[in-house]
Chains A and B, each alone.
Chain A
Amino acid sequence: MTRESKKAETEVEWVHKAQAGDLKAFESLVSLYEKRIYNIARRLLESEPDAEDVLQETFLKAFESLGKFREEASFYTWIVQIAVNASLQRLKQRKKWATVSLNDIDERDNDDDYRPREVVIWEENPEKIYSQKELRDILNAAISSLPVIYRTVFLLKDMEDLPAEQVARILGISLPAAKSRLIRARLELRERLGSHFRKRGAESLPLDHTHG
């Protein structure tokens, strides 16, 4: 048995015990995932107190709804969905959506969005140009500046390593929509990091329309 399947089996066992009212089993599930849920909420909300609220809300809601958990997805996917919904709800309350309404999203769906604006070679090891703290600040600033719909997909797919199908399911969007947001998220972040990591003296390549 692989480590992953062993872990999944333990998780299922804990879920069943927790559903039967075993507090210790539920706390084991909390301990296993609390850090990841906290990080998702922190990165989505950029606020420690709000992340704490979402962390509590997620696990209390999971506790209350354990009986409804049907194992169609993994327990982790299920609680991520609760945490993401709670976070997005808070963002809506903060009216941060003002600039990212659903209409805006539709308008962004055109081919030009796929076109990189700046193409320039990066330093060989960009992470070595900066201190750990500087690098963290650069990455945080880049991801913070990303519209929420792209940030969420990138966070779940590329940072949390969830399959695209699960990301789509969590966000209640189609798989093509999740994939299209992911490519935009990746390319937007690439653009934002370019100014920090470009190779010294390197020129940006001109836009080449001949290649389509």
Chain B
Amino acid sequence: MDCRRLLEELNLYIDGSLEKEICEQLEAHLQGCQRCRIVLDTTKKTITLFRDQEQMEIPFAVQERLHQAIRAHWHKSK
């Protein structure tokens, strides 16, 4: 496996859904390629940083207006 192929398989590898045989080839390449190791590590870290972001709270007034609109809609549909 070369660097280009590794990048093509990077998604599946990160998501843990790469076939075993290709996974082994990829890991063998990683052993000898510092560039790919860094790309893999920093890409994984990128995903983790975004995934760990807290969700923004809905402002209370926005939430109130949403539920009021739904109730109004429901009454109108009756």
Contact = CB atoms under 8 A, between A and B. Distances in A.
A121 B4 contact: no
Contacts of A182: 11
Contacts of B38: 119-121, 205
B20 interface: no
Contact of B2 (A36, A159, A205, A212): A212
A136 to B, nearest CB: 7
A208 interface: yes
In this complex, the interface size class of chain A, counting residues with CB under 8 Å from chain B, is: 35 or more
A115 B5 CA distance: 11
A182 to B, nearest CB: 6
B41 A114 contact: no
Interface of A: 23, 26-27, 30, 34-36, 38-39, 42, 48, 52, 55-56, 59-60, 63-64, 111, 114-116, 119-122, 126-127, 135-136, 139, 143, 154, 158-159, 161, 179, 182-183, 186-187, 189-190, 193-194, 197, 205, 208, 211-212
Interface of B: 2-5, 7-8, 10-11, 14, 33-36, 38-39, 41-43, 45-47, 49-53, 55-59, 62-63, 65-67, 69-71, 73-74
Minimum-distance CB pairs A-B, first 4: A212-B2, A211-B3, A114-B7, A190-B46
25 contacts: A26-B74, A27-B67, A38-B56, A39-B55, A48-B62, A56-B66, A59-B66, A60-B73, A63-B70, A63-B74, A111-B4, A119-B39, A121-B38, A158-B50, A183-B10, A186-B10, A186-B11, A186-B43, A186-B47, A189-B46, A193-B49, A194-B42, A205-B34, A211-B2, A211-B33
